[in-house]
Amino acid sequence: MAVLPAETADRLVQTVTTDPVSPGPAPGRRRPRTAVGRVVVWLLLGVCTLAFVYPFAWLLAASLKPRSQVFDNLLWPRDVQWSNYAEVWERLPLAAWMVNSVAIALIAALLVTVSSSLVAFGFAYFRFPGRSFLFGLVLATMMLPGAVTMVPQYLIWKQLDLIGTWVPLFGMNLFGSAFYIFLQRQFFRGLPRELFEAARLDGVGYLGLFRHIAMPLAVPSFVIVFLFEFQSSWNNLQSALIYLNSGGVEGYTVPLGLSYAMTTFSPTNGGQGDYQLVMVAALLVTLPMLVLFAFGQRYFIEGVSTQARKG
């Protein structure tokens, strides 16, 4: 199952251990020397910004248009129809979807943060036979396609009679998740071991080491894991399709619900093509993520950057 040869995996692990998440990429900025160079850079930045922002602007505009104007591609709606934002709550159980998704994402993120950090601390601090091998296994599971375990996992939840409940959407988070274990282990290994040794001499137990020393010092890593998992749970379409699709529409999560709305509003399914409402819903389910990013940008960037040091 180990996809990477042992030395490569080892090297991956080793290269990372030197550097617990450092502040963002400050050095290495090389500014263009000539005026022409600067103009070119700004021109390119402008073009890219346009490409990345345009779909958002289009989405915002479309969400305010009457049905007949959605496809006119004007970024400033000819007729602004604020009522779309009221109507969407009546036409779709969007509130229920959001409540479901928030609850599931919160539970999923909390569970995985706690479990992954415990496991990560086990790998970072303690010495026990087979540690390197087991950690190699943790890394190797990241390469396993989800499709291989998808069916058996479904059968496990079916045996437990939990299909149609929320449990399969976060149940696995009780056992930690490979990438988060990897990420938090990095953090813990960056802490000076003397701190722990001193606490041990003062009679602090192993769980105490985790709670009173490792946890307070590694808060950023907890935030990173929490935010990443919250986002990933908020976006999780496939699990919702597998476990919640056969239940009532009210029980859907945000991705499943929006996918359902796209289908039912489509004229090919007898809908009236109320895409302006789909756009309102798309905007509303994106907003929480943008808020999350506004407050946690540093953590998202740090979390992603950590991956760079893996290779």
Partner 1 sequence: MTNAQAVDTARPGRPPGRRPPGRSRETGPTRASSMRRREAIAGYLFISPWIVGFCVFTLGAMLYSLVISFSDYRLATDTATPVGFDNYAELFRDPRVMGSLGNTLFYAVLAVPLEIVVAMALALLLARSGRAGGFFRTVFYLPKMTPAVATAAVFLLLLNGNTGAINEGLAVIGIDGPQWLIDPTWVKPSIVIMTLWGVSGTMVIFLAALANVPRELYEAASLDGAGRVRQFFSITVPMISGSLFFATVVLTIAALQVFDQAYLLFWRDQTNASPESSLFYGVYLFQQAFRQFDFGFASAMAWLLFVIILLITLVQVRLSNRFVYYEGDR
143 scored as a contact of partner 1 (CB under 8 A): yes
Does 127 bind partner 1 (CB under 8 A)? Our answer is: yes
Closest distance between partner 1 and the C-beta of residue 30, in Å? Answer: 6
Stretch that binds partner 1, among 82-90, 102-110, 215-223, 268-276 (CB under 8 A): 268-276
Residue 68 engages partner 1 in binding (rule: CB under 8 A): no
Using CB under 8 A, which of 39, 103, 155, 198 touches partner 1?
155
Q: Which of 218, 254, 274, 299 binds partner 1 (CB under 8 A)?
A: 254
29 binds partner 1 (CB under 8 A): yes
75-104 positions binding partner 1, by CB under 8 A: none
Could you say whether residue 248 binds partner 1 (CB under 8 A)? Answer: no
SS (H, E, C) the chain: CCCCCHHHHHHHHHHHHCCCCCCCCCCCCCCCCCHHHHHHHHHHHHHHHHHHHHHHHHHHHHHCCCHHHHHHCCCCCCCCCCCHHHHHHHHCCHHHHHHHHHHHHHHHHHHHHHHHHHHHHHHHHCCCCCHHHHHHHHHHHCCCCHHHHHHHHHHHHHHCCCCCCCHHHHHHHHHCCHHHHHHHHHHHHHCCHHHHHHHHHCCCCHHHHHHHHHHHHCHHHHHHHHHHHHHHHHHCCHHHHHHHCCCCHHHCCHHHHHHHHHHHCCHHHCCCCCHHHHHHHHHHHHHHHHHHHHHHHHHHHHHHHHHHCCC
Q: Which stretch binds partner 1 (CB under 8 A): 76-84, 85-93, 217-225, 260-268?
A: 260-268
Member of 94, 98, 125, 223 binding partner 1 (CB under 8 A)? 125
Q: Which amino acid is at 265?
A: F
Nearest distance from C-beta of residue 247 to partner 1, angstroms: 14
SS (H, E, C) 158-180: HHCCCCCCCHHHHHHHHHCCHHH
**Interface region with partner 1, contact rule CB under 8 A, candidates 82-90, 102-110, 217-225, 252-260:** 252-260
When the beta carbons of 131 and 212 are compared against partner 1, the nearer one is 131
Q: Does 304 bind partner 1 (CB under 8 A)?
A: yes
User: Any contact of residue 203 with partner 1 (CB under 8 A)?
Assistant: no
Nearest distance in Å: CB 88, partner 1:
13
Which residue in 68, 83, 272, 297 binds partner 1 (CB under 8 A)? 297
Among 68, 83, 263, 272, interactor with partner 1 by CB under 8 A: 263
Q: Tell which one of 96, 99, 141, 162 touches partner 1 (CB under 8 A).
A: 141
